[in-house]
C-alpha cells in the first residue's frame, strides 16, 4: 500500500469531479455559438474522463501495488 499514489489518485478523482460540476454551472451562462459549446462540452468530457481514469488507476495501484 502506497499512500502517495492513493493520495494522488483521490486528488485526481476529486479534480475531475470538481471540473465537471464547475463546467455544468458555467456552460449555461456562456454566450457562445452552438458549435463552440459543443466543442467545449466534448473537450470537457475528454478532460474529465482522463482525470477520472487516471485517478482510479493511481488509487488502485496504490492499494494493490
- For residue 6, what pLDDT is reported? 96
- 11-65 tens-digit pLDDT: 999 999 999 999 999 988 888 898 999 999 999 999 999 999 999 999 999 999 8
pTM attached to this predicted model: 0.88
**pLDDT over 90 at 5, yes or no:** yes
**Cα–Cα distance between 34 and 60 in angstroms, integer?**
39
The residue extents of the domains of the chain are 3-64
Q: Which residues touch 23 (CB under 8 Å, ≥6 apart)?
A: 40, 41, 44, 48
Q: Tell me if 27 sits within 8 A of 40, measured CB to CB.
A: yes
Amino acid at each position: 500500500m502506497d499512500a502517495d499514489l492513493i493520495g494522488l489518485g483521490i486528488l485526481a478523482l476529486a479534480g475531475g469531479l470538481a471540473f465537471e460540476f464547475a463546467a455544468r454551472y458555467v456552460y449555461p451562462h456562456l454566450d457562445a455559438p452552438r458549435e463552440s459549446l459543443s466543442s467545449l462540452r466534448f473537450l470537457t468530457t475528454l478532460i474529465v474522463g482522463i482525470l477520472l481514469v487516471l485517478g482510479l488507476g493511481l488509487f488502485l495501484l496504490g492499494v494493490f501495488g
